Amino acid sequence: MRGNGFTLVELLVVIAIIAILAALLLLALSRAKEKARSTQCLGNLRQWGAAFRMYADDNHDYLPRRGQGVQPLFQIDRPTDWFNALPPYLGLSSFQQMVTNNTVPIAHSQSVFVCPTADNPGGTSFLPYGMNMNLSPWNLSQPTKFGEVVTPACVVALGDAPGPYSAIFPSPRAYSVVARHANRANLLFLAGQVQSFAGAYVGCGVGDPKHDDVRWLTGTASDTQAQAY
């Protein structure tokens, strides 16, 4: 006659079910945590979007410069580069001042400079957001004007960056825009709206797919150099 206890097989089945449920719960928690981080990242980008507009309003419609292009960032003393020109509009010190004062934001810190998902891969500077490399580059004698950009609602202004660079572009090279939010990249458009896209859609690590709703070309003189990125 069978007793009231569990058999070894039944115990193993129960343990297996509990393990599966625990794994599913951890996966759900991880996804929820990353969703929250992505939402915070989009909030950061939205603040940068407001700063872009205020800077243009105060500077005869000129946009800040994109900083260095295909090189990792090491020149941080130009006041019109976005990471120096825009922070005062958010009540922050410029990136140069923060470096001088040894108060530069670090990975996973609470800062509009920092995507909460981004790790610091090392290098001279850490900027997990980067400006569109083709927007107001230094090879132009004058910065690009906001009003010169064709369809600013579709032109990328800022987005998820790998860290050592101040500017990004879809590319197989190291400065490419990155998809670190569950294979999605967060982007700010020049008109101020923010959105998350699948990395493949925006060309992360590959090159510009040239979609009409995600444009890296601006319709200005800078486009003639874009093939070099």
**Per-residue model confidence (pLDDT) at position 1:** 46
- Better pLDDT: 8 or 226: 226
Over pLDDT 70: what percentage of the chain? Answer: 97
**Per-residue model confidence (pLDDT) at position 127:** 97
Helices (H), 86-159: 95-100
pLDDT category at 71 given cuts 50, 70, 90 is very high
User: Nearest to residue 149, comparing CAs of 226, 47, 221?
Assistant: 221
Distance CA 100, CA 102 (A): 6
User: Nearest to residue 104, comparing CAs of 86, 124, 90, 81?
Assistant: 124
Q: What is the mean pLDDT of residues 72-79?
A: 97
Average pLDDT, the chain: 93
**Per-residue model confidence (pLDDT) at position 130:** 98
Residue 129, Cβ neighbours under 10 Å: how many? 24
Note the pLDDT tens digit of each residue in 187-199. 999 999 999 999 9
Note the pLDDT tens digit of each residue in 144-180. 999 999 999 999 999 999 999 999 999 999 999 999 9
